[in-house]
Structure 1
Amino acid sequence: MRERLGDSPPALLAAMIEALPADASLPVPEAMAGAAVALLGTLDGLRREEALPLMAADALLTHAFHAQAEADAEGLAALAERFGAAGALGATGVR
């Protein structure tokens, strides 16, 4: 995943990698989307000091959809259903 995320600013890259699950058996899109949702779930009120984790979550979710499109564009709708506003992302309550 470092190769996929390598062009990110160093602090953002570190926050994204830190958020990724240790379970390397997950498909890349699932791992990234799940990490994004988990990271968003740790935020409390979206204060200024939470800008980096918020940007990391956004970047992870963006990369998740990009990875899914590259691997199997037919799976985009299913990924969006699981992790989008009607799925895990919506369940975080972050607005």
Structure 2
Amino acid sequence: MANMVFDTGDIAAWDCALDDRPKAVTAAEWPDLPQIEAFAPTPLNAGMACRLRAQDGSDIAFMLNPVAARYLAISIFTAGMKGGWLDERGNVIQPEAPQFDS
């Protein structure tokens, strides 16, 4: 039998880990966050590695397990539509007015 990269126990553990999320970003924190202008995703059989390029030129690299990667993809699409900067097809549109839920 071939060695598996991860198993159903790993998937369950990653799913449980998402229940212990850090606090959400507040409107007061937003101006001080790194502003990401580019990224390079790398698909792996154990998830997805990403390298982000911030506006100041610095790079941030991290790894997402498959459960977190799926949740991030859904969250970006949902937040973009709720925030008014993505249409129903996922295209970027200009929002009517700046909004930030805290």
- Whose RCO is larger (CA < 8 A, sep 6+)? 1
Q: Which has the larger radius of gyration?
A: 2
Q: Quick check: which one's strand share is greater?
A: 2
Q: TM-score range by the shorter chain?
A: 0.3 to 0.5
Q: Quick check: which one's helix share is greater?
A: 1
TM-score by length of 2: 0.31
TM-score by length of 1: 0.33
